[in-house]
Amino acid sequence: MAVWSQYVVVVFETRSTEYRDAVIDLLAKIVSNTKATEPGALKYCVAVPRDPSDDRKIYCIEEYASQAANDIHMASAPVQALFKYLSETPTALAGAPTVMTMSPLAAFTRPEIASYNDPAISFIELGSGKDVDMIAVAAQQVAIESRGDPRLLCTAALRDINKPVVRLFRVGRKGDGSEESDGSNVPLRAVSGYLWKDTAQEQQLW
């Protein structure tokens, strides 16, 4: 089933592991509300780096069926509660969250991702700058060809809508290589959320 969508990845860096746990608790409430009441929120995954020494970052990986779905999400009470906490607790974060809004060039998600325990998640910057158009074509082909690899549960080639950057979001079964760090790739572990909304068919876009 072909779908149009918008990906948003938000990266929080907290000042301590205690603050990280507090923010994760608030994000878990957002997850529950989003999954139950927002049909246009196709993915909402809260993840942390697998490297135990990188213990202050949180990645929120989100996919929306439309800009309107994103707007509904941002106006929800749990999201506003998170904003309130961060406003009233200025020491919680080391800096402003990094927000990346992206359009998929090509993507697919397999239904079995919903039941796979502890998948290997990676979010990789492939390139930027003047060569971004060439990189985007290559990334699109990578995503299309990845659908033939049964180890991969989800692949999305993503182009930033605000700057010339191309990224790759990938979810695989353990041992597919996504757990290996190579500088641009930070292997992630999901702590809350979902990567699949019930639908009759595999989600794909190209």
Which CATH number characterizes residue 87's domain?
3.30.70.100
* Residue-number span of the structural domain to which 46 is assigned: 6-205
- Tell me, yes or no, whether 1 lies in a domain: no
Interval 1-16: pLDDT, tens: 445 689 999 999 999 9
The number of angstroms, rounded, from the C-alpha of 114 to the middle of its chain's C-alpha atoms is 15
Q: Tokens representing 36?
A: 């139950």
Give the C-alpha separation, 67 to 110, whole Å.
23
Residues 6+ apart with CB under 8 A from 127: 135, 165, 166
Q: What average pLDDT is seen over the chain?
A: 90
Give the C-alpha separation, 172 to 10, whole Å.
21
- Tell me, yes or no, whether 95 lies in a domain: yes
Give the C-alpha separation, 65 to 69, whole Å.
6
Amino acid letter for position 11 = V
Q: Tokens representing 35?
A: 């999954």
Asked if 121 contacts 49 with a C-beta cutoff of 8 angstroms, the reply is no
Q: Residue 46: count other Cβ atoms within 10 Å of its Cβ.
A: 24
**Rounded mean pLDDT of 195-204?**
67
- Tell me, yes or no, whether 180 lies in a domain: yes
Q: Supply the pTM of this predicted model.
A: 0.91
- Tell me, yes or no, whether 67 lies in a domain: yes
Interval 71-129: pLDDT, tens: 999 999 999 999 999 999 999 999 999 999 999 999 999 999 999 999 999 999 998 88
- Tell me, yes or no, whether 144 lies in a domain: yes
